[in-house]
Structure 1
Amino acid sequence: TALVVGVVVALGVLVQWRRALAAWRGVLAALLLAVAGGALLAAWQQATVGDALMPGHVIGMRRNGRMGFVRFTDTRAHTPAIAWDHTLARMRAVNDRLLGWPLPALALVLWPFLFRRARATDLWLLAGWLALLATYAFYWYYEEYWPARYTTAGIPLLLILAARGWELLHSAAGVTGQAARLARPAARAALAAGLVYAALVAWPWEWERLGCHPGDLEHVLPKALKAFKIDRGIVFMRYTGRILTRGDAFNDFYAAGFIRNALHMDGPLVFARNQRKGNAQLMRDLSRGPFYLYTFHRGTHQATIDQYVREGDSWQFKRLGQYPSNISRRAGTACRRE
């Protein structure tokens, strides 16, 4: 993402090199920030995966991290039709949420182009977002919970374009007569109404949409661990049921545990995805115990914790309990803020 937008920004600077020289301090500051960001990223990757040039998600996602129109299994592939659907969905998300207004945001963004008032700078501002749309059309995943988040690096430039569109509307550029006289008060009224709508409707709705599960996190895990006084060992995480209130119904909330792991997995408490029979490989070293199975029920936002107990040559489960204990496990129970 940073590379795509960075290339677009750099091209603009190269094309306008005379202006860039006049503002050399700002260009130098941007270059220093870019170099510092790249160095920090390389240092982080060196510390986490042992290779400064290897992103962690490449290791974590393996085959699923590939770009392009590829086939993953006999029944699952990324196709041009899916790519087109994802691109349209990302455009709709930005159109609906960019400004928080009840009016299409892209109408303002594209206003200079629709009325032939666009400058080369306007095209440059739009190019970063379009480049991200084109790039991630070749990636199989659609970001359901944060729609169009893969294009967010280009969205600040769209806000500048939206302001430019409103400026043209306010100045009645391209129109004459009665329409020109009405343009300025109409633009001001639209701006005022849009800001009020954003503050009273759009922003509260977006906050409510987050619920108590922001992305790949869920709020029950840390509270359940505290309730059952689990502060060492290995916790295997699994998730059952469906989330009925948002698109990614089978999210496994892996980050809820992974963010609590020490960098080199050497902390007193380690979290791992449940591998069923494969869990035994991590339990061979009994000094890493005790071992737990954490089960989060998506429909009720309730967790069950079992402890692995060694009996003879096999592992058995000892039920520790549920958290919270006062919620019915009826599917569809709303997620509560606590």
Structure 2
Amino acid sequence: MAAIPQPFDRRAHRLSRDRAAALVDRAEPLLAAVADRMLDRLDDTTRRFTRALDLGGRHGLLARALHARGIPVVVSADLSPRMAARAGGLAVAADEEWLPFAPGAFDLIVSALSLHWVNDLPGAMIQLRQALRPDGLFLAILPGPATLAPLRAAFLAAEAATSGGASPRVIPLPDLRDAASLLQRAGFALPVADAETLTVTYPDPFALFAELRALGETNALAARSRRPATRALIAEAARRLPRDSEGRIALPLELITLTGWAPAASQPRPLAPGSGAARLAAALGADEQGAGELAPSRLAPPKPAR
């Protein structure tokens, strides 16, 4: 069996989230905006949930919102023990790649801006489906590739200009097609994936970097350079970042939303081929012909000989 690629240093990412536990409140507006979009999706279903998991929940913002909406049991899990401790309530430090939950433990699993750091994302998605009861709902929001594209381009150009080389500083992110295929590969029923793009602004690059630190989104690529970025590199990268008409740094935030259900016998299923009770031709008011036949009235007249 081929080894699973390991683009992310999970230990470094855990330490990044540990450090972010004391800073995460600074990113509250962004996290609240993402949580609101997830709660709006939950409002679209009439299903009532009793046991929910907030995976990668940081300090428990979404977990508290779920509990406030009447879900009696909400577990908040995070890779960082310090972040999990901040969540309070039913909280556990857990690795998304090795989930410690029994099959069918939850009827709702949500995850906001965390699964993009998982090395074996297909394997993690299979584990999540197994942790759901039949007809349980999985709902996740991941950042799409447009999110950090300007930052990646700015650092690549700046490093090439200042040192003549480049090292990876921004993580790769799944696009919409890849995200949709993940749901199908993991065996979710009724899979849906869609995306929207927002614009977030910062007064200066230091505000941007501070929010990334507060989110635990600092560089944890396995192939990252261990040397800290120089002031000259940061200044050159900042100069290349896009800005709005007021001079603020303006970056896209692409949010990919994944929705899938654990398979259940009660779910709607497509009819088997040939099982329809009505014919398409009758519905369209058209004449039905056998395969390879044409109605005589629709045959083109022969062309005159020349």
TM-score bracket, normalised by the shorter chain, equals: under 0.3
The structure with more helix, counted as a fraction of residues: 1
Higher relative contact order (CA 8 A, sep 6+): 2
The structure with more strand, counted as a fraction of residues: 2
* TM-score normalised over the length of structure 1: 0.23
